[in-house]
Structure 1
């Protein structure tokens, strides 16, 4: 259906255009006239089956072709948006032509007066709905509407002719992923419809760039789970085709700076669907001369790496008659090592005097990352009038916000657009890693309180807590025992027995020592169901002079680690700085922290746990090195209204038991008391 709407059909050599989309400029009046002839309709109570009298509440069509269905519910009749979702899952047969994936309706909305949700694929009980809400108070939902329903924006804004045709023409696209199934690769297709914040950020950025032209800075704070890759792809395409009110292109080229390996292919595939024109996106991965040629020739969209960022800035300064949009993807590389080292060297050479002054004459700062280097590189060159800068990050540092943020009504810098961690959590796209965060002091106090409880049979409880009580971890061997036993008892059964954990250590030598302690303890206990991997950049121990490499210890190359860690063979990953940021492994359930963390580094580190996957219901952090309040304070600027109990109180279990007893569902006589504790 999407292909037919965009490119028409050919019958006996005659080509028929079935829809016309609004041209980017007013240079062709004929195309604009054809666009104005599109007929958009909304039809009520549409019967869609030849087998029964079932009907859909609303059908949205373009020139008679169905593109969206809508189920409307009203709480006054005892029904809400959840009922609409269930209706799609249970009563709407995805074999019916109207509901067949890709062939007819492209998106299905579930709507009540308060919330809107949507899906592009009906699949019975497995149908997954995504929120299409504006967000409220930096969280989920919609803001109050004094003039009507909270979901009025759907028909007053989203479904209006210009908006709706823009979404169908320049946002909707088919995404193909390669997934592994039983050891074999398979193709998975998804039809991508923008979530509200994605649509909103692209439209607001392009509108502002159209009005102000080149020379602006934009900071976009979008949490993990926001779908940044798609947002960047849509933004790049639309900036490359942006014309001002005088029908002149705003940008001659759009440059996307990213280290995501999949983004360049995704960009090419997505943009090809919009235009069916090859060569719109050029990947620059060889050398500076290739990049210089692409910039000078005016290639529509150029995609390159963070390491080439300083060269891009210099080259743009040499081409004052051309305007550029520079989109920088979140600059937190998980790989660390040589790539980051080279980039740091390049930027320090460019800005050596400034760097020396800021660091008190010393070179390097372990807390600095690519975001700092990008900011310093921009500042060293000053504002360039032919360059607009669009920076996407989940965790902007205060200095970044100060340099690139927009001033609000109180004169404070803030992001141009926000999709907060809180909203991502409330909408179910990431996990709340603070929900089960605890320091070892609290954990120890809890286990002691349980041990001292006169109502608990000591023999039954001893297996669970005795080991922890006898180990107040003052050294690595004791901490190793705590970690391994906690992992075996509490973590291994999670996510269907596939849960994994990460140990964050203070330094690379600590990684080596921890790995030795893990191997000793696992061998001593005869545990064959746990294996640990390490991740660190190669180094030479100053005390012993011994050289250590990750591949020597793991027994395979560094690039293989993410894939190896995903298998059932390995459960624990011991890291220093490497993989502390930018590493996405949804099976990570628990993190053990033995390193002082503060500020944005604390947020980035703990956020390794926040990815969702089927069967993952919670996460857990056991912190040996930090105070609870320090972590809460670190999350506050990005989390929005962090709520975390100050202590864990075992008496709350009795409160919960009393509440359960009051429902008279569970009877004491029906409870089976198990001797000992199993992994289940």
Structure 2
């Protein structure tokens, strides 16, 4: 199983795996699994069109020869009990119960299956250990989930006016009557249009976050409590249909036209470590299902410059840098200094909150990086082509710029 961070990446993976298998003249084949439809090279594709058989047959077909690879985007990460699974490639950040559920897909026994193997490109040992330690022995619920929060969430969602009550009722009635999808989509598409035109970026993030929390909380509570609230049930059905159609805020792609200039020979795979994760022999407790909207970016703990450099060396020191010290200095000194002078960022830093400051800083960093295309080509290429490196540069240098003169070397 290949666990990917999104549908677009899953499609790229399955194409790459199929091309590689064909190049090696291998008899084996790969299957891709994701929800809905997606654009691929200008064409709209789905699981069925890429696999050559209906989506409902994926689990059965995967058990048959010559299929040996299952590329997933969210689907099959939980509740998929396939004893044949032996190896997992993880290219997606995992934490908490999602890490436990995903990695536990390899947990079923099968004749001839004596061990399992996980190759993780995204998560460190401590993150996985922390996730599993909560479920190693006795696990208790730390607090209760407050059902009354559903009233608050419904009020917030209704007040956003993305949908009208009659649209919810009509869409749910059509869905329960088993009508074709083309009768549901017009209602949902009108709501999406309002979402995009009437809500700014922050309001979109808040609405989508609260919608997900409502659906998750209602699904949890309805499975253990006896409810007779028609409004909650209708909104749960409606939001489950609407959420996948709500687009995320668009981020400008500055890497277009750059990929052909990348010298792939400058990359190399480096084995960092292979180790067993030992869990503490003690009980644990977990928090209840959260019933608050959690939209926006998570507040991060600010690192000292020395720790940023140490993390840079650990994560990206294996790259054959022409001047590794220069790359570290750019992240801790030059980029935060130049982007920190951006008027929009300085205004947001002084007069707004941290999230708005980060938005302005990210835009400023991209402009600074574009100016490095000629003089710092290697750094520029890695920033544009490596999402992990790009994220590290922005997050680390933002911490420095946001602290300003209070930085400690």
| Class of the TM-score when normalised by the shorter of the 2 chains | 0.3 to 0.5
More strand per residue: 1 or 2? 1
Could you tell me the TM-score, scaled by structure 1's length? 0.20
More helix per residue: 1 or 2? 2
Could you tell me the TM-score, scaled by structure 2's length? 0.33
Larger radius of gyration: 1
